[in-house]
């Protein structure tokens, strides 16, 4: 299973022109696609969202705890397939964006935490979606304080070791 997956990812990377040393250079681990997805409803763009079945109760609990403190956490994105990540790259490449520039903002297919269904992109009403300015919101302040109580951690803090953009909106559940 894992060898088949590794080969599939390697093939996709070759096709997209992603350097073979990518994962090592960026200190990124292969992320496996979630096999027990559950639909969560719709996101703020009216798209269907799914997440890992094990994470759903934790998300619901954190969301309602935040609400209890007057903070509304909204889901922007959760599970994304390898195929979806690949299509994202192709769309940008077709628009003339270089692979090096795409890799500054997007994890390569196979290395996005969203494959696991355990990473959530969050926002709050009145905040600009997936923008660094989310760090100035009360929702972010709440997450900094309480997300850990629900086993969510911010994967890509400022100056992270993966050379990925600072993503104050991206929180991953670590099942204990």
Instruction: Report the interhelical angle of 2-16 vs 82-94 (nearest 10°).
Output: 10
- Residue 160: C-alpha distances to residues 38, 127, 171 (Å): 30, 23, 14
Give the nearest distance from C-beta 154 to Zn ion in angstroms: 10
Asked if 47 and 76 count as a contact pair (C-beta separation under 8 A), the reply is: no
Binding mask 104-123 for Zn ion (x = CB under 5 A): -----------------x--
The residue among 115 and 170 lying less far from Zn ion, judged by its C-beta, is: 170
Candidates 32-40, 60-68, 79-87, 164-172; binding stretch for Zn ion (CB under 5 A): 164-172
57, 62, 67, 70 alpha-carbon torsion, rounded to 10°: 180
The residue among 93 and 130 lying less far from Zn ion, judged by its C-beta, is: 130
Does the protein bind Zn ion through residue 171 (CB under 5 A)?
Answer: no
Give the nearest distance from C-beta 68 to Zn ion in angstroms: 25
Contacting Zn ion (CB under 5 A), which of 86, 118, 150, 170? 170
Asked if 38 and 56 count as a contact pair (C-beta separation under 8 A), the reply is: yes
Binding site for Zn ion (CB under 5 A): 121, 170
């Amino acid at each position: 299973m894992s060898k088949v997956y590794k080969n599939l990812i390697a093939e996709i990377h070759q096709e997209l022109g992603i350097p073979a040393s990518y994962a090592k250079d960026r200190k990124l681990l292969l992320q496996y696609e979630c096999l027990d997805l559950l639909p969560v409803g719709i996101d703020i763009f009216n798209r269907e969202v799914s997440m890992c079945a094990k994470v759903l109760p934790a998300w619901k609990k954190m969301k309602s705890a935040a609400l209890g403190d007057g903070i509304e956490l909204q889901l922007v994105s959760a599970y994304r397939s390898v195929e979806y990540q690949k299509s994202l790259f192709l769309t940008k490449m077709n628009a003339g964006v270089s692979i090096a520039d795409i890799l500054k903002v997007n994890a390569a297919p196979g290395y996005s935490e969203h494959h696991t269904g355990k990473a959530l992109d969050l926002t709050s009403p009145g905040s600009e979606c997936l923008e660094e300015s989310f760090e100035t919101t009360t929702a972010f302040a709440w997450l900094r304080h309480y997300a850990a109580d629900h086993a969510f951690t911010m994967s890509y803090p400022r100056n992270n070791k993966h050379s990925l953009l600072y993503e104050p909106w991206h929180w991953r559940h670590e099942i204990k």
